[in-house]
Amino acid sequence: MNDTRLLLALDFGGTKHTAALARQGERAWLGRRQQAAPPRADAAADVTIMRLLARELLAAHPGRLAAIGVSFGGPVDFARGLVRLSHHVPGWENWPLRDQLHAEFGVPVSVDNDANLGALGEWRFGAGQVETRHPAPPRSGDHSVASLLYITVSTGVGGGWVLDGRIYHGAEGMAGEIGHTIVDPNGPVCICGRRGCVEIMACGPAIARRARERLGAEPSAGAHLRELIQNDFSALTAEHVSRAAMEGDALAEEVLLAAARDLGTGIGNALSLMNPQRVVLGGGVTKSGEAWWAEVRRAARANTLPEISVDIVPAALGDDAPLWGALALAESLL
Ligand SMILES: [Zn+2]
């Protein structure tokens, strides 16, 4: 006799899979299950884990499942509900995830990539709220900004657009790839094969690489950073660089701010092109301290038109942004 309508949100991440259940119209999870992605998995193994997590949740929380939203950490053909491939796990090529879940659970299903759903999640429940300038608990999307660019800066740089309340996919589903816009045509070669993309200049591994290059070229500089890594260049990460910068290491600070400047330049270009109301930045690199944030904002302002406002704020939902986006996606199917 329980006819509560339930929405299921699924997130296939690179290192973990998460399923969560909410009542329609509510802003809190009824239940949430997570499992580490097994080493040497394939697509079928990942799907099996997710189906079990979903079944556990549905068994524990009576009600009627009404829709499923799915976030996938890799390229997705949104219109056809296909995963195009995974950069981490074999076997996902053209996997019909939407139709498979629809056949199993008998409700509408939609699948999108994690950057787009991170954007939708932040727009609907997080830093896309008009009055929210700082991290806040998830709440209703009724007061969301009209347009939002979401950028995640971690091991790569991903992005997604929400325009007038909807994800903007672009003609081929490639909209939002700010990580592969070019800010230095003479820069290093990016994973995409071109030079000087935002990603190869500003992501976490890029910050580590830039620091390593500087330490190699300037044997007397960066004493504190060298101390932090005990002179083991292979152990150097972006976290070491931001910590050394915060603790006053001049070389580390220069490296960190150069990366921030390149990201800010890319954001400035995006602002001139699309004039979004707000830019939301998430991912581990955004924890690099106030100097990093100030330089991102300064460079964005310096590289866009003076008439354009630069409203760049931290993400509010952390790693859960795509999961919240999957909930918003499920909601949009009703
Ligand atoms: Zn690139």
User: Tens digit of pLDDT for each residue in 262-321?
Assistant: 999 999 999 999 999 999 999 999 999 999 999 999 999 999 999 999 999 999 999 999
CA 245: distance to chain centroid? 25
Q: In which element (H, E) is residue 175 found?
A: none
Instruction: Specify the pairing of strand 16-23 against strand 157-163.
Output: unpaired
- Distance from the CA of 55 to the center of ligand 1, in angstroms? 39
Spatial separation of the C-alpha atoms in residues 18 and 189, rounded to whole Å: 34
Q: Identify the band that residue 1 occupies on the pLDDT scale cut at 50, 70 and 90.
A: very low
- Distance from the CA of 186 to the center of ligand 1, in angstroms? 13
- Distance from the CA of 99 to the center of ligand 1, in angstroms? 32
DSSP per residue, 290-330: HHHHHHHHHHHHHTS-TTS---EEE-SSGGGHHHHHHHHHH
Q: Using the predicted structure, report yes or no on whether residue 150 has a pLDDT greater than 50.
A: yes
* Nearest C-alpha neighbor of 70 from the set 81, 58, 85, 57: 81
Spatial separation of the C-alpha atoms in residues 38 and 40, rounded to whole Å: 6
* Nearest C-alpha neighbor of 140 from the set 152, 148, 128, 151: 128
Spatial separation of the C-alpha atoms in residues 185 and 169, rounded to whole Å: 26
- Distance from the CA of 143 to the center of ligand 1, in angstroms? 34
CA 203: distance to chain centroid? 12
The tens digit of pLDDT for each residue in 87-127 reads 889 999 999 999 999 999 999 999 999 999 999 999 999 99
- Distance from the CA of 321 to the center of ligand 1, in angstroms? 24
Q: Identify the band that residue 3 occupies on the pLDDT scale cut at 50, 70 and 90.
A: confident
pTM of structure: 0.93
From the number of C-beta atoms within 10 Å of its C-beta (0-12, 13-18, 19+), residue 140 rates as: exposed
- Distance from the CA of 69 to the center of ligand 1, in angstroms? 29
Tokens matching residue 14 = 């690179």
Q: Identify the band that residue 208 occupies on the pLDDT scale cut at 50, 70 and 90.
A: very high
- Distance from the CA of 295 to the center of ligand 1, in angstroms? 22
